[in-house]
Each structure stands twice: as structure tokens, then as C-alpha cells.
Amino acid sequence: MAERIIMPKAGMAMEEGKIIKWLVAEGESVEKGEPLLEIETDKVSMEIEANASGTLIKILAQNGDTVPVIQTIGYIGTPGEKIEEAAAPQSAPAAKKIGDGYDVIVVGGGPAGYVAAIKAAQLDGKVALIEKDTVGGTCLNRGCIPTKTYLKSAEILEHITSSAYRGITVDKKAVAFDMKAALANKNDVVGKLTGGVAALLKSNGVDVIRGEGVVKSADTVAVGDKKYSANSIIYAGGSIPGRIGIPGIDSELVLTSDDILDIDEVPGKLAVIGGGVIGVELGLAFAAFGSSVTIIEMMDTIVPNMDADVSSLLKKELEARGVQILTSVKLTKIEEGAGGLTMVLEDGTRIAADKALLSIGRKPDVSGIEALGMQMESGRIKVDARMETSIPGVYAPGDVNGRSMLAHAAFKMGEVAAENAMGGSAEFDATIVPASIYTTPEVGAVGLTEAQAAEKHDIRIGRFPFAANGRALASGEGTGFVKTICDKQYGQVLGVHIIGPNAAEMINEAASLMNLEITDDELSEMIHAHPTYSESLMEAAADALGKCIHLPKK
């Protein structure tokens, strides 16, 4: 099917663009990312790149034409392809039924699965959801929600113990933490949310089938001895904790991120294997609860996927809260004795621990679909932008495809899979997906890091510290900064990185504006309420342009 070339919306105020020059002629081949044409707006001149590889089969708007944003100006496809068919709007016709079976069967009730089931039901599908555990998946039961519940307790403890700064005297000897009560609170929160998901499925008419679903063919799923048929299958098996093959790793004292969320006693000494998001969040939480925490990370920095400036400051802040962090080290074995565990590093260093948390990331759970023999990539199910696998009619959104192992990305992938399973035409775009770390201070990131952006662009950096933000200072949260990374030529915001108060909330504004292809000039002119933390985003954009009012002149 031919791909449309559209006049982009290069900035929030842009309503139209003028075509200066086509750089490729009709009938010529192009590669994805190759410049196709030059356009001019009221603010910038820029090149439009090909969104697919193929042949420029039709130009609809010529040099000198002024075209409204989003309007189709050409097509890339295969020579001889009928554009009229490709250009026709894609409706979502009702899927064909197979006897008394379902339109869609969803295997797995996590963020991708339950959203897919509800979306397909909203599109008038007859839908079944198969779940072997409790609906909600890892996120609600053993991940995002339980972890954030514990981190909120850690945050409250920090506020109490530092309250003297505000003139509030607290007898620190009287402050105690009850792990059993915290566990009960966590379970209560999880129960409310999973119960809410179950109610949503019921209200949308989704049949929930309890048991382990095994996909037998492109239209059949088995649960035990019973088989169910469907026109389309959405496999959303989620993920399981990753493991490493070293001696001692199978000790009962080595906990996964699933296990540690159900313990009812605080370990005296906790070794955290892996300094990624899971490791730093749970390490900080248990340090606040009273554990002596050591994080062991093989890379040269914690949370290595984050911008280097953010990772560096987060390490410093965690250490200030009592967390010992060892980077560029390799764990070779774990010894278990009467006194607990000993973590043995490659250089001979020995670290004593009562328990260890294995947090080296998660891997796709493909145990229910292996019989189909579909195409895989490094243990992940290969899917296209429609979330369809190599087997037509079988879709695999969420962690199982490894594209973005975040719950909010899984939500969107689930919706896309459901629309396509019901006969529609939708695609998942992972270009702008925000990510957060719920430590103290929080971290939020979207787009390219400085190192990634510098590889492909001539960039300018904006930076505004929370130490210069009125709301942050009034709240005693002046640590951290907002950092913007922008393209010098066009001003497009390529990445935003935040470490500081409310970073996980603020990053959503940045992601929304980046989806609109905002420029730093436009962002710097946006009025924000004062005093708010989010003013710092506007200020950082202004700093990139050398016009920040609330920073000393450079």
C-alpha cells in the first residue's frame, strides 16, 4: 500500500507550508530518511524526509504551491500501484465471525491485553480475554503500582525526618516503619485497581476466561482441554524477570522484583543486582525502610539509558540517602551461608547481604505462542507497526515484542492491535514515548539524550536548575534541573530530560509538545503559571536560545 507524503505541522502555529523544491522526481527511488523536498513556513525552511523506502509514484503539489498542514502532497509506493485505493479512508468494518467463536481472543490481561480487549469490544467485537492470574498484569500486580506505593511511603519518611528545616519538630526516635502494614497498604491499592480493571472488562461485555492460554493456530487458543476459536488473536503475554547464569543465583534468598514486593520484613542488608530503573527504585525504597542497600551495576553508570547528566546526579542523590552504588563491576558468584549471602565480585570484593534483589531487567514471556513458529528477534516476537506478527491475523502488543517495555506504551500498542484485529488500519509510533523513574528526586525523559542527538544533529542545549525555581525552593526541593536538547537549524525539540520534583508529571507536557513538533522558540514564549515547577521547562528552552530571564547572563 502506498505511503502518503503530507505537509507536516512543523510548529503549533503552522497552518500551511510552501513547497520550495522537490528534490526527487516522479519515478525515482527513495530510501527511508532521504530528503524528498524543501518547504518554507512563516518561521523556518526545512527538508521533508521520506517516511518509507520505495518509488515516488505521484506528486500532487508542485514547486511554489502553498499547502495546508496534514494535506497529502505525494505518494511513495510501488510503480503501477493504484493511488486511489491507497488513498481511500480506512474504516473499521466488523470482523468476520467463525461459527460461534469470537471476533478477537486476547491472551494475557496486562496493560496491552486488557486495553486491547476493551478496545475491540468498543468496536462491536465479540471478545474473550484469557488470563491465568489476576487481570492487570505485571504493572498492577508486581510492578508499577506496588513499587510506587512503597516509594510514596519512602517519600513520607524522608519528609518526616527532614521536617526540622521547616520548623516542625519530630522525635525521630518515635518514627518507626511497619513493613507488614506497608505490605497490607500495597495489597489494598493493588486490589482496588485490579478490581477496577475487572469491572471495566465486564461493563464492556468481554468474556474473561481463567486459565493459561496456549495459541494452537492462527484462529485457535486452548485453555486446558477446551479450545476457543476467533477471527483474530492478540497475544499479550507480557514479560518475566530476567536471570543471569552465575553460581548461587538460585538461592531462595535471591529475590526477583516480583518476590520482593511480598516480603513482610525489612532485610538488614540488601544487595541489588542491577542499577536499572527497577533496581534504583526498590533500592531507594528499602533504604528508606531501614535496609543497608548496595547496588551492583556492571555498566559505568546507573540507569544507563538515561541522559548522562541525569544519571550522574541521580547517583549522587541516592548515595546522599545512604545507598552504596558500585558501578563498572561484575558479579561472578553468590555464596550462601549461615549468616546469609556473600556477593563475590570479579576483583575479589565480597559484599555481605541478608537478601539480594535480582533486577537486571525483564524479558518477553512467549511461553503461550511458541507452537506457531512465528518470526522472532533476539527472543522477542517480531511485529510490524500494526502490531501484527509474521502470521496474518495474529498480533503481539506490549512487552512480548520488546519495542518499548513500558506500561503506557503497552496501552497504545494494545489499542493499535485491537483496531487492526477488527479490520481497521492503525500504527504504533514509538518515536515519542516518555519514561519516568519514581525515585527522590524523580526523573522524566522523552526523546533523544544529548549523546544520541549529537550523533545526527547540530544541537543546542538549554538547562534550568530547580534551585532557581520559586516553587521548588518554597517546597524544599531545589535539587535537579530541566534540560532541553534542540536542533540548531530548525529549533525542533529533540529531547527533554528532567530530574527533580514532579518530573514524572512534567515530562508529559514535553512529550505532548514534541508530538506537535514544537520549536524551542515557541516553547520559550509559552506562558506558564507562577510559581510552578513546570516553568522550568519554558526557562530551559529560553536558556537554549540565550534569552532566559531568570538565569545570569552567560
Task: For cell 485505493, name the residue.
Answer: 85
Dihedral (C-alpha) 395, 400, 401, 405: value to the nearest 10 degrees? Answer: 130
HEC per residue, 443-462:
EEEEECCHHHHHHHCCEEEE
Cβ-proximal residues to 245 (8 Å cutoff; 6+ apart), any chain: none
Q: Is 335 exposed, middle or buried (0-12, 13-18, 19+ CB in 10 A)?
A: middle
Contact assessment for residue 513 and residue 468, using Cβ atoms and an 8 Å cutoff: no
How far, in Å, are 9, 23, 30, 53, 454 from residue 34 at the CA level?
A: 19, 10, 6, 9, 19
Type of residue at 83: I
Which residues does the annotation mark as catalytic? 530
Spell out the alpha helix ranges (H) of 53-165.
Answer: 83-87, 111-122, 137-142, 144-161
Phi, psi of 17, rounded to the nearest 5 degrees: -140, 150
Interatomic CA distance for residues 274 and 442, integer angstroms: 19
Q: How far is CA 484 from the centre of its chain?
A: 19
Task: For cell 503552522, name the residue.
Answer: 14
- Three-state DSSP at 270 gives strand
Of residues 516, 517, 515, 520, the one with CA closest to residue 537: 520
- Residue 209: its H or E element: strand 207-210
Task: For cell 558479579, name the residue.
Answer: 331
The DSSP symbol for 206 reads P
Cβ-proximal residues to 375 (8 Å cutoff; 6+ apart), any chain: 381, 382, 389, 390
